[in-house]
Amino acid sequence: MKKQIRTTIIATIATIIIIFSCALALPAVAEVCDRGEFYPRLTVVVETEQVEDSNLWIVYCQDKDGNVWAFFSGEDDWDEGDVANLLMKRVTEHEEEDEIIEVYWEGYTEDVETFFSLERWR
C-alpha cells in the first residue's frame, strides 16, 4: 500500500512539473509564431527558366505591385499564366528582402494581362 501511494505521489509531482514547464514555454512559442510576420502574396507566373545542367527550375512570378518574385522548383510543372499564392515571411521592413516560405498553385489564366486588370492590379 505504501509503495502505491509513493508511486502516485511521484507521478503527480512529475505531471505538475511537466504542466508547469509547458506553461512557461507556450508564451515563447507564441512570440515566434506571430502571424504578423507571415502573409500571402497572390502572383502570376510570368517566366520559367531551367538552371543550367540541373533539374532545377527558377519560377518568376509577378504580384499586383509589379514586383517579381522567384523561387526554385524541382520539376518543370509551372507554366506562364499559373496563379501562385506565395506564403511570405517578413524579414525586415523592406518588402524586397522578404522570403518565400511556401508556394501554392491556385489556378491558371490564359491571358495574364486580363487577369491583372480583372483583379484590378493594373
How many other C-beta atoms are found inside a 10 Å radius of the C-beta of residue 40? 12
C-alpha cell at 49: 527558366
How far is Cα 122 from Cα 107, in angstroms, rounded to an integer? 20
Tell me what the mean pLDDT of segment 108-113 comes to. Answer: 83
pLDDT value at position 82? 95
From 58, 55, 54, select the one nearest 100 (Cα to Cα). Answer: 58
Can you tell me the mean pLDDT for 6-21? 74
Q: What percent of the chain has pLDDT over 70?
A: 81
- For the cut 80, the answer to whether the pLDDT of residue 17 exceeds it is no
The burial of 54, by beta-carbon neighbours within 10 Å (0-12 exposed, 13-18 middle, 19 or more buried), is given as exposed
CA atoms in the 13 A half-sphere facing the CB of 72: 6
Find all residues with CB under 8 Å of 78, minimum gap 6, and list them: 45, 48, 57, 59, 84, 105
